Structure 1
């Protein structure tokens, strides 16, 4: 059993803090041990009161927990004062446990959750963090530059700000861009080992969702505890969080809380339903000579075994389209690699299907305003896997040409000697992918 230590505020509303930390860790098979640093009295609109715990009591609880459990990672959330942060980090760092720190300073409602001097003293201990995960407002506090407003920050400024934080804190920084008001995507920037990496998902509309920052950092800590490298842990965490946001539910006053992530059962059911629908409307001449497959990944997928496909493929039999098998995880290596590569660029793009290539279909996709990109197998370097290289090449070229962070709806190649030309339709889910395929079919 993997044990995760969660240190942070106790929010009795159950929507944030160590309660949500415990919830998400359990969702992914970890056992959480939670130590409260403060009890916050909050409504969904206001922070009413904060009852800070004495630092000696917190450290006592911490040492007892360390004596009983072998922790694989630690997530630190709300700590009211720099004294608590410095003492907690000192006690944990001596144990050699990776620390993920989410510097919670302001509640979703806008109320303060820390003393004024916490932000300026984080740099005193930041070199001991495996990762720090501020949002834009918290990042501005740490940089002591609150003249900017998160709603007015561009993507380029987000990147620049993340680099400034990395230089000041001297540890890996994941700057969360969920507060970029004018963006259709939720964009986060990782600065680590002199490199910059973007993590993208579609922004989900539908009211205020509490606890997302707490959940995100705890998910990262959980996947680190399971042995994932930092970038993989972040990608899996962002995918899992996106699924939980999609499954969020209302608790009134335009406020939502995180729901359960999609699991194997949900993926198989969605793919089974899509398969039944697909064979009813798809013309047989859309099926390539090599057959078709449709793949759908778990929200945190990084391996083929975490992607569900059709065992036996989808084939043409006369004028009919037939499925020769059933949904099964690990069933399609080819389409799994398409999906996993797309998810490296946008964790929300979890589904893909392949259909027969024709120039007529490509022109139809353009006329429908679908986002279209392609790659040439003739340019493929030696020693690479075609799907990983080709899908990545198409996405990067599309982004460069459009200046966006979008992933194309359609990625095609014209084949090569012994390789059939192919079109791949990508989307967030089987329902989304079939909607795009149906539009193409009905437009031709």
Structure 2
């Protein structure tokens, strides 16, 4: 097995939320082999940085030389460099190896503690930025590099242009410090701006998000992505890691670098993103409460369509299944558009009668469940697979339309009793995932007849 190799030249975070620890986790997430040069050792936790110990410049040089003597390094990032002496030795050695790094100009920890001394900014601008492939600056860092205020998007564009003149090929300005519900990052290559926008995740400090983003960009570059694609993909991955982050200590939350997290698909349509997010939230909720007796042998799928959906590509669902694992519902797969056939066909058929009926989930059939649905006042439709015409394009499309026509209206649920090789099934319908969950909770909490 061969793996691409990415190098992080940065500080050590003893709490493991940021620094080289976050970088290594990010490289590992991408399947890239990560190596490190330690520039500083910090004594910190999720609440504060208590002490900073700089590594001597000759030791940093020894680390760099030892790695380049052994590894074929594909991409390099820098993080915490702290002062002029460290910046000089890093810049000198990377130039000797003809490496253009991704530079994360780390200045302040999430806790608010400074991670640089007074020589840092001037030295970074003079020594390292002229040979950088990309600079990944947040708003305060960009302000320090440009000596200007950044209050709105136009200010950000001007800051990018000003930083670009310092020498990097690309300037990424991260917009998280601007007070918008939608966070837009600007990438500038000297000719045009690229904008990457995702919703802000409230009540998150996201310790290590900057380190993780720059490490992901570096790892994706090592894998052959273009700088523009690397930034876009890295932003989406970081969003998922922040959204599923957690609190390991008593201070800031940290990112979740697990490969099991859900990453939003690369979509530039805000409406698509909101549909994906609503469905993901609903699936997370469903996994937390659905009893195992409602899980079919073939597993479940949960889907949600865009307004005015016309094809399966307009329907978001699980690319895989929700299955029973040790008596618990478990998500196996990613949430994506255009991946469902059966549940998507049900939704599209229902929408042909009522365009607001955009969500559905399948659950295990039993006569007791059907009787319980009737007891709690659900309207029920059904179809018999034996009546399916030989020229029907889709059983689920035909069955759904048949059940609706027979009932004369859209039901809360549609069931069939199966056939040879086909498991019987109940499908719960709703206008959105929240309504589907409401109906499921009502069903589960109802007393048995």
TM-score (norm 1): 0.63
Q: Which of the numbers 317, 321, 339 marks the counterpart of 1:310?
A: 339
C-alpha distance in structure 1 between counterparts of 2:66 and 2:79, whole Å: 19
State the Cα distance separating 1:192 from its structure 2 match.
0.5
- Report what 1:163 is aligned to: 161
**Aligned-residue offset at 1:23:** 0.8
Corresponding residue number in structure 1 for 2:25: 23
Cα deviation for residue 266 of structure 1 reads 9.0
1:307: how far off? 5.4
* 2:91 is aligned with 1:89: yes
Pair 1:241 & 2:238 matched: yes
- The answer to whether structure 1 residue 130 and structure 2 residue 133 are counterparts is yes
Separation in 2, partners of 1:437, 1:170: 50
On the 8 A contact 1:6/1:35 being kept in 2, the answer is yes
Do structure 1's residue 3 and structure 2's residue 28 form an aligned pair? no
Q: Return the alpha-carbon distance in structure 2 between the equivalents of residues 354 and 61 of structure 1.
A: 63
Structure 1 residues 323-370: Cα deviation after superposition (integer angstroms, max 9, x where no partner): xxxxxxxxxxxxxxxxxxxxxxxxxxxxxx999689x959x99xxxxx
SS of 1:133's equivalent?
strand
CA apart distance, 1:169: 3.8
Q: For residues 208 and 312 of structure 1, do their structure 2 counterparts lie closer, same or farther at Cα, with a shift above 3 Å needed?
A: closer
1:175 aligned residue: 173
Give the 3 Å change call, closer, same or farther, for CA 264–20 of structure 1 in structure 2: closer
Q: Give the length in aligned residue pairs.
A: 320
Q: Distance in 2 between matches of 1:4 and 1:23?
A: 12
Question: Could you tell me how far 1:111 is from its partner in structure 2?
Answer: 1.5
Pick the structure with greater CA Rg: 2
The corresponding residue for 1:118 is: 120
Deviation of the 1:37 alpha carbon: 0.3
Deviations 1:176-213 (CA, angstroms, capped at 9, x unpaired): 11111x21122211111311111111111234220000
Q: Corresponding residue for 1:294?
A: 315
Three-state SS of the structure 2 residue aligned to 1:193 is coil
Does the C-alpha gap of structure 1 residues 262 and 61 become closer, same or farther in structure 2, counting only changes over 3 Å?
Answer: closer
Q: In structure 1, what is the Cα distance between the partners aligned to 2:55 and 2:75?
A: 23
Q: 1:45 to 1:310 in 2, by over 3 A?
A: closer
1: distance between equivalents of 2:125 and 2:91?
12
Of the three residues 56, 65, 68, the one matched with 1:66 is: 68
> Which has the larger displacement, 168-177 or 99-108?
168-177
* Aligned-residue offset at 1:226: 0.5
Q: Is the 8 A contact 1:172 1:192 kept in 2?
A: yes
Q: 1:271 to 1:157 in 2, by over 3 A?
A: closer
For residue 257 of structure 1, give the secondary structure of its aligned residue in structure 2.
coil
Instruction: Give CA deviations for 1:277-324 in whole Å, capped at 9, x if unaligned.
Output: 658x99xxx885x667634699xxxxxx995643646576xxxx38xx
Q: What SS does the aligned partner of 1:251 have?
A: coil
| Contact kept in structure 1, 2:132 and 2:168, CA below 8 Å | no
Rounded Cα–Cα distance in structure 1 between residues aligned with 2:33 and 2:26: 10
Q: 2: distance between equivalents of 1:170 and 1:266?
A: 29
Instruction: Please give the residue correspondences for 1:340-419 in structure 2 after superposition, counting only pairs within 5 Å.
Output: 361=355
Distance 1:57 1:24 in 2: 25
3-state SS of 1:121 partner: helix
For 2:431 and 2:200, the matched residues in 1 are separated by 18
| 8 Å CA contact retained: 2:316, 2:340 | no
- Of stretches 133-142 and 41-50 in structure 1, the one that deviates more from structure 2 is 41-50
Say whether the 8 Å CA contact 1:291–1:314 is kept in structure 2: no
Distance in 1 separating the partners of 2:133 and 2:113:
28
Query: Which 5+ residue runs of structure 2 have no aligned equivalent?
Result: 265-278, 287-298, 320-333, 359-429, 438-449
- Distance change >3 Å, CA 292–CA 241, structure 1 → 2: closer
1:114 deviates by 1.2
* Displaced runs of 4 or more, over 6 A: 264-267, 269-275, 436-439
Give the Cα–Cα distance (whole angstroms) in 1 for the partners of residues 431 and 239 of structure 2.
18
Q: 2 CA distance for matches of 1:21 and 1:315?
A: 39
Structure 1 pair 272–12 and aligned structure 2 pair: CA distance change class (3 A): closer
Determine the C-alpha separation between the residues in 1 that align with 2:313 and 2:217.
35
Which residue number in structure 2 is paired with residue 200 of structure 1? 197
Alpha-carbon separation, structure 1, partners of 2:11 and 2:431: 41
Q: Which residue of 2 aligns with 1:41?
A: 43
